[in-house]
Amino acid sequence: MELVDRRLGSDFNKKEAMVVINVDLLCTNVTSNLRPSMSSVVSFLEGRVVVPEFVSDSSEVMDEKKLESISIDESWTATSSSAVDLYPVHLDSSYWEERN
């Protein structure tokens, strides 16, 4: 609880504070593949999904073989959806005419 703003005193939900702190720790993972997706973070914060326990073991270094086995063996929601354009421009739209 030392990470909670002291100005709050004891006027906060300790369980919610722990959820936020644990989500923060997951989001700061050195290995990007192990960071949760934004939709997972929202699910954690809304309480729809239980936050997995964060284990910090600085003596363990993730090698490429281990990363490959993780991404092959498990179904991840942490993949980027940036390959899909949220605002596609159609070739027959007036956008192209108004652009010049």
Q: What is the mean pLDDT of each run of 10 residues along the chain (100 residues)?
A: 87 91 91 90 92 64 51 47 62 68
pLDDT for the residue numbered 5: 87
Q: How many angstroms separate the CA atoms of 52 and 30, rounded?
A: 17
Has residue 72 been placed in a domain?
yes
Has residue 26 been placed in a domain?
yes
What's 1's DSSP letter? -
Q: How many domains does the chain have?
A: 1
**Dihedral pair phi/psi, residue 35, rounded to 5°:** -80, 145
pLDDT for the residue numbered 34: 86
Cβ-based neighbour number of residue 99 at 10 Å = 7
Has residue 93 been placed in a domain?
no
Has residue 87 been placed in a domain?
no
Contact present, 67 and 35 (Cβ < 8 Å)? no
Has residue 44 been placed in a domain?
yes
pLDDT for the residue numbered 76: 47
Has residue 98 been placed in a domain?
no
What's the start-to-end Cα distance of the chain, in Å? 57
pTM to 2 decimal places: 0.52
Which domain range does residue 24 map to?
6-80
